């Protein structure tokens, strides 16, 4: 028992550092693949690390009327995202603290992070901050309920909202199910929206009027901006890990597994991340950005798919 | 079976009596310098003692007492059981906070004689409702509560719209009491009589039980603010002084929830399988409609009033699930859903009172409730802005605060409901779950908007730029409530355990004891199924945030330079270029409110060269007004105009009418038998 606890603590600690270390690399990889797909050479996959290091060492420029909230939000945002990312199984399910927060809590943690970032966008009192915040809350007002519906579908299949339990159930195999297929499509749409990727938002845009996330953080600089960027990278990693651990759980090391299983888990996790990055880059390159007021239709589809999946499971346990 | 009076019951009755004495004292002393300290200080002491006494009464045995008052052959039946005690705790905690706040806030009241007598009377009424154990005493206390709050709603009668709000309120309150009166009539018709004990012994059978459910939903629902009977609430709650708004929104709606629980769960007998459906549907609709309308408002207190409708919706979804589970024999799940509803009752009382106090503090400091005249108050009101941030985060259901804990329990209850055998429930429960999730996300948007416009950004008026922090009493009341929100969020297991005697009394089963779970987690069903630990989540976030800040300041840099805002190189000094309440809501208004509330924007752009200002006009209508109440009012008006002719008849015609009426009545009597 005590050995299992120590092993789980090790897994938890490794995971916390692993997600932090891999998140910039994942973003770098997506950018690199996108560049190659558009026939550019692109920056090195390690460029995000250099960006972060440079931002961290610069002084932070604050507007004259920025309040304490503006300075506190980057830390809160980063901490909430990091904690959430640390609770999603990556290479193994034996996370010692997974019982402290289930998938609903993880969703809500991301919601908290967004709540505070949207407030920070309004703190300085510029019109671009307001436009970003107001669009962000509109998008999240549809993405969050869709996410909750996806959680419901998964929880009804696995009889649990604990992510470790869900992952173990999925490893054991639940067969092909209509409800899970609907949940997967919905989760893909939500992941795209939550991470501000094309077609909902464009992370590389330079036109303020089309910005959502970037407009919110327009006033940030230096270490604050570094933390916000890192949090965004962690969030992308979190969503890819979530899809991986629920829908392609093969290779996950079970709780208390030996070193061999852990190495296998890490290798398969790396492969899944790379596959996720390539898929995202291909998707983003092959589609155009939507107008802001088309986004609700897109996300409404996710909400309806999630609800349909849940309804199917209410009607029959085997669908 | 006669119950013996317990110490706690006698204490609760003394509290009611003391509050009534304070009401008289308020009427006498109102104009003097002693009025405010005596009334609010006295009410604070009485409600605090009553709250402690009620807290000890939750696990205590039931106390009963019959006073020789009221209708001679019934008397005034009083009873203090676990459910009453839970609601007395909520009433008196809210009352104590409002009294403390009133000590400072009341100083700015220009007509204290219109508030001081009614404030303790209102508290006395709300204290008496949970104690009543017969229909007469219940309705008397209910009406007393309504009338006292009505007097408080019209206390600022010079302000535009307040008298109108009072009129709508008193009409809806009368309608609600009428529905409750009919419900009690049906319950008493079972055979026993008008005491609750007799009703419990002979519950209604067949359709009578269903009618009681509908009447309770109408009667208590109209007081609590269920859609479409909510129309009075956003008019009346903001019209009262802010500490009374807090009481009405935070506490009185909970007394209405108590009335619903008492009638439907306790007196109406075992529920049918479908009873849960109307309750769940009404709750889910109230949730979404309430929060969407909150997003369209630009008056701080109206935003809060509409948000109350949303939270009442969440509570009713919990109650409806509990009814459905109870009817189908799933005791554990019913206990979970019922606990979630009671927990949210407690949470909402704390956070909504806190938010109304904050809105009152802003009103005191700036003289305005209009969001577009505020802004930047985080710099001017350091304490109020922090506690309001806690309140806004709590009501947006963000972990690790208390609003999230109760919402999480409701979601866990929903996830147990595929076990329910009935098809109607299988289809309505997931839809209600989706609507609740939508309402929660919209609530977060609503409070980002409220907090962002009022406290952040740059001041939009002279008054906002020169605001000052409010007095120490108001600050103390807000800090106390914020502490309750945080504590109930970090240690939800304690609150859940404290509620269990009431759950056991009404459901027959209780939730597993949370105090036995390691690390103060909450585990509603089984550990493998779901668990949540607010304290640990909080510690994780706090420690990683602090650690990050420490490492960055140590290893990288902590240098800060102040500069003008960047704003993409075009900073505009004028605060009106900021996002306003209307523009912030524009995306959500376009997505959700266009069909539901017929929200329209009309933009008037002057031609080039013209000096006229550009204008935007936003209109929206409440479907409850447009399709229910205005046609109803029109109908009443038309009938009244027709009936007006009866006033101008000759004496012969009047006599003929009397004769006709007599014949008709005799005919009815003859045919009846």
Specify the 3-state DSSP secondary structure of B600. strand
Specify the 3-state DSSP secondary structure of B370. strand
Q: For chain A, what is the mean pLDDT?
A: 92
Specify the 3-state DSSP secondary structure of A60. strand
> Both tokens of residue B34?
């002693």
| pLDDT higher than threshold 70 for residue B471 | yes
Give the nearest chain A residue to B397 (CA atoms): A108
Q: Which of A76, A115, A127 sits opposite B448 (nearest CB)?
A: A115
pLDDT digits (tens, 9 = 90+) for B630-658: 999 999 999 999 999 888 889 999 999 99
Contacts of B529 in chain A (CB under 8 A): 159-162, 165
Specify the 3-state DSSP secondary structure of A290. coil
Say if A134 is an interface residue toward chain B (CB within 8 Å). Answer: yes
| Any domain includes B654 | yes
| Number of neighbours of residue B322 by Cβ within 10 angstroms | 31
Helix, strand, coil content of chain A in percent (nearest 5): 75, 0, 25
The beta-strand segments (E) located in chain A are 60-63
Q: Which among B347, B557, B296 is positioned nearest to B450, based on CA atoms?
A: B296
Give the nearest chain B residue to A70 (CA atoms): B456
pLDDT digits (tens, 9 = 90+) for B284-302: 999 999 999 999 999 999 9
**Mean pLDDT, to the nearest integer, of B460-489?**
96
Contacts of B571 in chain A (CB under 8 A): 126
Chain A interface test: which of B383, B428, B537 (most A C-beta within 10 Å)? B537
Say if A41 is an interface residue toward chain B (CB within 8 Å). Answer: no
Interchain proximity B545–A105, CB inside 8 Å: no
Task: Considering only CA atoms, give the Rg of chain A.
Answer: 19
- What does the alpha-carbon distance between residue B567 and residue A63 come to, in Å, rounded to a whole number? 10
At residue B83, the pLDDT reads 96
Q: For chain B, what is the mean pLDDT?
A: 93
| Any domain includes B663 | yes
- What does the alpha-carbon distance between residue B233 and residue B521 come to, in Å, rounded to a whole number? 37
Maximum Cα–Cα distance across chain A:
60
Instruction: Give, in order, the Cα–Cα distances in Å from A291 to each of A187, A201, B82, B146.
Output: 21, 9, 55, 50
Instruction: Give, in order, the Cα–Cα distances in Å from A203 to each of A75, A123, A195.
Output: 21, 22, 9
Maximum Cα–Cα distance across chain B:
102
At residue B576, the pLDDT reads 87
DSSP labels, B77-135: EEEE-HHHHHHHHHHHHHHHHHHHHHHHHGGG-S-GGGTTTHHHHHHHHHHHGGGB-BH
Q: Residue B134 forms beta bridges with which residues? A: B195
**Mean pLDDT, to the nearest integer, of A23-34?**
97
- What does the alpha-carbon distance between residue B594 and residue B589 come to, in Å, rounded to a whole number? 7
pLDDT digits (tens, 9 = 90+) for B419-439: 888 888 988 999 999 999 999
- What does the alpha-carbon distance between residue B372 and residue A58 come to, in Å, rounded to a whole number? 36
Please give the share of chain A, as a percent, with pLDDT higher than 70.
100
H-only helix segments in A195-258: 213-216, 222-247
The CA distance from A219 to the nearest CA of chain B, in Å, is 6
Q: Which helix (H) or strand (E) holds B596?
A: helix B594-596
Q: Which of A82, A119, A307 sits opposite B448 (nearest CB)?
A: A119
Sign of the torsion formed by the C-alpha atoms of A213, A214, A215 and A220? positive
At residue B158, the pLDDT reads 87
- How does B17-47 read in b/e, with b if 16+ C-beta sit within 10 Å? ebbbebbebbeebbeeeebbebbbbbbbebb
| Pairing of the two strands B615-619 and B600-604 | antiparallel
- How does B225-247 read in b/e, with b if 16+ C-beta sit within 10 Å? bbbbbbbbbbbbbbbbbbbbbbb
Q: Which of A124, A149, A303 sits opposite B565 (nearest CB)?
A: A124
- What does the alpha-carbon distance between residue A285 and residue B296 come to, in Å, rounded to a whole number? 38
Specify the 3-state DSSP secondary structure of A205. coil
| Any domain includes B660 | yes
Rounding to the nearest 10 degrees, give the CA dihedral for residues B260, B266, B272, B277: 20
The CA distance from B108 to the nearest CA of chain A, in Å, is 29
pLDDT digits (tens, 9 = 90+) for B252-286: 999 999 999 999 999 998 999 999 999 999 999 99
Interchain proximity A60–B578, CB inside 8 Å: no
At residue A87, the pLDDT reads 92
| pLDDT higher than threshold 70 for residue A34 | yes
**Tally of domains within chain A:** 1
- What does the alpha-carbon distance between residue B42 and residue B24 come to, in Å, rounded to a whole number? 12
pLDDT digits (tens, 9 = 90+) for B440-451: 999 999 999 999
pLDDT digits (tens, 9 = 90+) for A221-232: 999 999 999 999
Q: If pLDDT is split at 50, 70 and 90, which confidence band does B627 have?
A: very high
Q: Which residues contact B352 (CB under 8 A, 6 or more apart)?
A: B246, B249, B250, B304, B307, B308, B311, B395
Say if A259 is an interface residue toward chain B (CB within 8 Å). Answer: no
At residue B108, the pLDDT reads 84
> Both tokens of residue A249?
């759980």
Rounding to the nearest 10 degrees, give the CA dihedral for residues A12, A13, A16, A17: -150
- What does the alpha-carbon distance between residue B632 and residue B614 come to, in Å, rounded to a whole number? 38
Q: Which of B389, B444, B578 sits opposite A137 (nearest CB)?
A: B444
| pLDDT higher than threshold 80 for residue A292 | yes
- What does the alpha-carbon distance between residue B217 and residue B226 come to, in Å, rounded to a whole number? 9
| Pairing of the two strands A60-63 and B560-563 | parallel
- What does the alpha-carbon distance between residue B103 and residue A307 come to, in Å, rounded to a whole number? 50
Specify the 3-state DSSP secondary structure of B299. strand
Does ipTM top 0.90?
A: yes
Say if A316 is an interface residue toward chain B (CB within 8 Å). Answer: no
**Mean pLDDT, to the nearest integer, of B167-172?**
95
With beta carbons less than 8 A apart as the criterion, state whether A234 and A23 touch. Answer: yes
| Any domain includes B635 | yes
Q: Which of B429, B437, B442 sits opposite A149 (nearest CB)?
A: B437
- What does the alpha-carbon distance between residue A11 and residue A121 come to, in Å, rounded to a whole number? 36
| pLDDT higher than threshold 60 for residue B1 | no
Give the nearest chain A residue to B417 (CA atoms): A314
With beta carbons less than 8 A apart as the criterion, state whether B528 and B500 touch. Answer: no
Q: How far is CA B315 from the centre of its chain?
A: 10
B residues 380..419 contacting A (CB < 8 A): 389, 393, 396-399, 404, 408, 411-412, 414-415, 417-418
- What does the alpha-carbon distance between residue B604 and residue B280 come to, in Å, rounded to a whole number? 43
- What does the alpha-carbon distance between residue A273 and residue A236 come to, in Å, rounded to a whole number? 10
pLDDT digits (tens, 9 = 90+) for B508-543: 988 888 887 877 788 888 877 889 999 999 999 999
Interchain proximity A67–B533, CB inside 8 Å: no
pLDDT digits (tens, 9 = 90+) for A41-83: 999 999 999 999 999 999 999 999 999 999 999 999 999 999 9
The CA distance from B525 to the nearest CA of chain A, in Å, is 10
| Any domain includes B666 | yes
Give me the domain span that covers residue B655.
623-672
CA angle centred on B399, ends B286 and B495, rounded to 5°: 80
| pLDDT higher than threshold 60 for residue B90 | yes
Q: Which among B540, B546, B519 is positioned nearest to A83, based on CA atoms?
A: B540
pLDDT digits (tens, 9 = 90+) for B381-398: 999 999 999 999 999 999
> Both tokens of residue B173?
């309150």
The CA distance from A125 to the nearest CA of chain B, in Å, is 4
- What does the alpha-carbon distance between residue A65 and residue B573 come to, in Å, rounded to a whole number? 12
Say if B550 is an interface residue toward chain A (CB within 8 Å). Answer: no
Query: What backbone phi and psi angles, to 5 degrees, belong to B615?
Result: -130, 145
Contacts of A101 in chain B (CB under 8 A): 399, 532-533, 536-537
Say if A223 is an interface residue toward chain B (CB within 8 Å). Answer: yes
Say if B612 is an interface residue toward chain A (CB within 8 Å). Answer: no
Q: If pLDDT is split at 50, 70 and 90, which confidence band does B199 have?
A: very high
At residue B189, the pLDDT reads 84
Say if A297 is an interface residue toward chain B (CB within 8 Å). Answer: no
| Any domain includes B630 | yes
Residue B161: burial class (beta carbons within 10 Å; 0-12, 13-18, 19+): exposed
Contacts of B317 in chain A (CB under 8 A): none
Contacts of A99 in chain B (CB under 8 A): 521, 527, 531, 533
Give me the domain span that covers residue A75.
2-315
Report which of residues B127 and B617 the model is more confident about: B127
Interchain proximity A148–B411, CB inside 8 Å: yes
Please give the share of chain B, as a percent, with pLDDT higher than 70.
100
| Any domain includes B601 | no
Q: If pLDDT is split at 50, 70 and 90, which confidence band does B2 have?
A: low
pLDDT digits (tens, 9 = 90+) for B106-162: 888 888 899 999 999 999 999 999 999 999 999 999 999 999 999 999 999 888 899
What count of residues does chain B have? 673
**Mean pLDDT, to the nearest integer, of A185-210?**
89
- What does the alpha-carbon distance between residue B492 and residue A104 come to, in Å, rounded to a whole number? 16
| pLDDT higher than threshold 70 for residue A298 | yes
Give the nearest chain A residue to B453 (CA atoms): A122
Q: If pLDDT is split at 50, 70 and 90, which confidence band does A1 have?
A: low
Residue B270: burial class (beta carbons within 10 Å; 0-12, 13-18, 19+): exposed
- What does the alpha-carbon distance between residue B501 and residue B489 come to, in Å, rounded to a whole number? 21
Interchain proximity A317–B418, CB inside 8 Å: yes
pLDDT digits (tens, 9 = 90+) for A76-114: 999 999 999 999 999 988 788 888 889 999 999 999 999
């Amino acid at each position: 028992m005590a050995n299992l606890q120590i092993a789980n603590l090790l897994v938890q600690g490794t995971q916390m550092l692993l997600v932090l270390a891999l998140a910039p690399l994942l973003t770098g990889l997506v950018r690199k693949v996108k560049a190659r797909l558009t026939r550019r050479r692109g920056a090195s996959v390690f460029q995000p690390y250099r960006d972060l290091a440079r931002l961290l060492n610069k002084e932070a420029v604050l507007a004259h009327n920025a309040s304490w909230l503006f300075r506190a939000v980057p830390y809160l945002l980063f901490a909430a995202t990091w904690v959430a990312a640390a609770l999603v199984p990556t290479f193994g399910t034996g996370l010692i603290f997974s019982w402290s927060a289930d998938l609903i809590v993880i969703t809500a943690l991301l919601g908290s992070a967004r709540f505070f970032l949207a407030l920070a966008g309004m703190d300085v009192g510029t019109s671009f901050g307001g436009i970003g915040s107001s669009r962000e809350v509109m998008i999240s007002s549809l993405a969050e309920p869709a996410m909750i519906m996806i959680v419901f579908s998964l929880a009804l299949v696995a009889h649990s909202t604990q992510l470790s339990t869900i992952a173990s159930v999925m490893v054991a195999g639940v067969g092909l199910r209509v409800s899970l297929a609907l949940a997967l499509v919905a989760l893909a749409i939500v992941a795209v929206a939550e991470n501000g990727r094309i077609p909902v938002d464009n992370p590389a845009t330079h036109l303020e009027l089309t910005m959502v996330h970037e407009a919110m953080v327009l006033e940030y600089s230096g270490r604050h901006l570094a933390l916000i960027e890192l949090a965004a990278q962690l969030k992308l990693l979190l969503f890819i890990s979530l899809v991986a651990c629920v829908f392609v759980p093969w290779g996950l090391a079970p709780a208390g597994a030996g070193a061999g299983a852990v190495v296998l888990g890490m290798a398969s996790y790396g492969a899944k991340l790379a596959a996720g990055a390539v898929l995202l880059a291909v998707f983003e390159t092959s589609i155009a950005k939507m107008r802001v007021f088309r986004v609700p239709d897109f996300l409404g589809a996710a909400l309806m798919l999630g609800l349909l999946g849940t309804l199917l499971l209410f009607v029959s346990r085997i669908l | 079976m006669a119950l013996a009076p317990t110490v706690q019951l006698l204490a609760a009755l003394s509290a009611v009596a003391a509050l009534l004495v304070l009401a008289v004292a308020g009427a006498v002393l109102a104009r003097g310098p002693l009025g405010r300290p005596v009334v609010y200080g006295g009410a604070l002491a009485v409600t605090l003692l009553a709250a402690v006494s009620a807290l000890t009464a939750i696990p205590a045995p039931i106390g009963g007492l019959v006073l020789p008052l009221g209708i001679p052959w019934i008397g005034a039946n009083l009873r203090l059981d676990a459910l009453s005690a839970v609601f007395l705790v909520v009433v008196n905690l809210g009352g104590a906070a409002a009294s403390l706040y009133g000590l400072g806030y009341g100083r700015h009241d220009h007509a204290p004689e219109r508030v001081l007598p009614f404030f303790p009377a209102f508290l006395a009424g709300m204290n008496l409702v949970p104690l009543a154990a017969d229909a007469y005493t219940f309705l008397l206390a209910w009406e007393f509560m309504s009338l006292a709050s009505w007097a408080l709603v019209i206390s600022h009668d010079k302000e535009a719209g307040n008298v109108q709000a009072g009129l709508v309120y008193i009409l809806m309150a009368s309608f609600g009491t009428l529905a409750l009166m009919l419900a009690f009539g049906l319950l008493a018709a079972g055979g026993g009589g008008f005491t609750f004990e007799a009703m419990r012994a002979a519950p209604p059978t067949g359709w009578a039980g269903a009618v009681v459910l509908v009447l309770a939903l109408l009667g208590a629902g109209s007081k609590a603010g269920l859609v479409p009977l909510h129309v009075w609430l956003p008019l009346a709650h903001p019209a009262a002084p802010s500490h009374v708004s807090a009481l009405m929104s935070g506490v009185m709606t909970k007394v209405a929830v108590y009335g619903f629980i008492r009638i439907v769960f306790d007196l109406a007998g075992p529920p049918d399988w479908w009873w849960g459906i109307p309750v769940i549907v009404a709750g889910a609709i109230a949730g979404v409609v309430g929060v969407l309308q909150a997003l369209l408002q630009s008056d701080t207190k109206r935003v809060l009033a509409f948000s109350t409708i949303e939270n009442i919706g969440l509570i009713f979804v919990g109650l409806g699930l509990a009814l459905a589970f109870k009817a189908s024999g799933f005791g554990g799940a019913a206990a979970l859903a019922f606990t979630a509803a009671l927990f949210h009752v407690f949470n909402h009382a704390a956070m909504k009172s806190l938010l109304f106090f904050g809105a009152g503090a802003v009103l005191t400091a700036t003289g305005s409730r209009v969001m577009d005249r505020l802004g930047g108050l985080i710099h001017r009101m350091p304490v109020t802005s922090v506690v309001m941030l806690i309140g806004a985060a709590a009501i947006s259901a963000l972990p690790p605060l208390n609003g999230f804990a109760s919402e999480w329990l409701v979601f866990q209850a929903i996830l147990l409901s595929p076990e329910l055998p009935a098809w109607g429930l299988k289809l309505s429960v997931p839809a209600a779950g989706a609507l609740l999730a939508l309402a929660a996300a919209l609530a977060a948007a609503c409070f980002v908007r409220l907090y962002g416009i009022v406290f952040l950004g740059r001041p939009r008026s002279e008054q906002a730029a020169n605001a000052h922090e409010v007095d120490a009493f108001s600050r103390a009341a807000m800090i106390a409530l914020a502490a309750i929100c945080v504590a109930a969020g970090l240690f939800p297991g304690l609150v859940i355990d404290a509620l269990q005697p009431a759950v056991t009394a009404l459901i027959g089963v209780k939730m597993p004891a949370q105090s036995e779970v390691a690390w103060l987690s909450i585990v509603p069903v089984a550990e493998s199924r779901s668990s949540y630990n607010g304290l640990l989540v909080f510690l994780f976030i706090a420690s990683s945030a602090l650690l990050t800040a420490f490492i960055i300041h140590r290893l990288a840099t902590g240098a800060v330079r102040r500069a003008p805002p960047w704003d993409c190189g075009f900073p505009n000094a004028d605060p009106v270029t900021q996002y306003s309440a209307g523009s912030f809501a524009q995306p959500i208004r376009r997505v959700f409110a266009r069909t539901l509330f017929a929200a329209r924007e009309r933009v008037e752009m002057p031609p080039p060269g013209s000096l006229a200002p550009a204008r935007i006009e936003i209109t929206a209508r409440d479907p409850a007004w447009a399709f229910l109440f205005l046609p109803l009012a029109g109908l009443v008006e038309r009938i009244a105009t027709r009936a007006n002719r009866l006033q101008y008849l000759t004496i012969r015609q009047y006599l003929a009418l009397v004769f006709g009426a007599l014949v008709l009545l005799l005919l009815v009597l003859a045919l009846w038998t």
